[in-house]
Amino acid sequence: MADRADHIAARIAGLVAERVPRVDAVAGEARIRELGLDSVAVMDLVMAVEDQYEVIFPLERLAEIETIDDLTRVVRGLIEQRMASS
């Protein structure tokens, strides 16, 4: 289970890094807005994460997200929810 969590964290950090110019890797505690992503870029990031894990990430939950770790935490919860309901 820990492996799986690490994998999700790494994959999400990768999706973030793809969107930040001149950056190859980002730390989990990095604040997403400080990486230079504007509000639309953050929503586009969320869309890519949704597709990666076949989940719905409600926009209203963006308020909970400051760091990449926050994003990973919410996505893990959404994946667990999806698996529990399927």
Tokens of 46: 């969320």
The distance of closest approach from Cβ of residue 51 to other proteins in the complex, given in angstroms and rounded to an integer, is 8
Stretch 26-65: interaction string toward other proteins, x if CB under 8 A? ------------xxxx-xx--x--xx--xxxxxxx-----
Please tell me the distance from the alpha carbon of residue 19 to that of residue 1, in angstroms, as a whole number: 28
CA distances from 56 to 18, 24, 29, 30, 47 (A): 21, 27, 23, 23, 9
Return the SS3 of 73: helix
Choice between 2 and 39, CB closer to other proteins? 39
Does 86 interact with other proteins (rule: CB under 8 A)? no
The distance of closest approach from Cβ of residue 13 to other proteins in the complex, given in angstroms and rounded to an integer, is 21
Binding stretches for other proteins (CB under 8 A): 38-41, 43-44, 47, 50-51, 54-60, 85
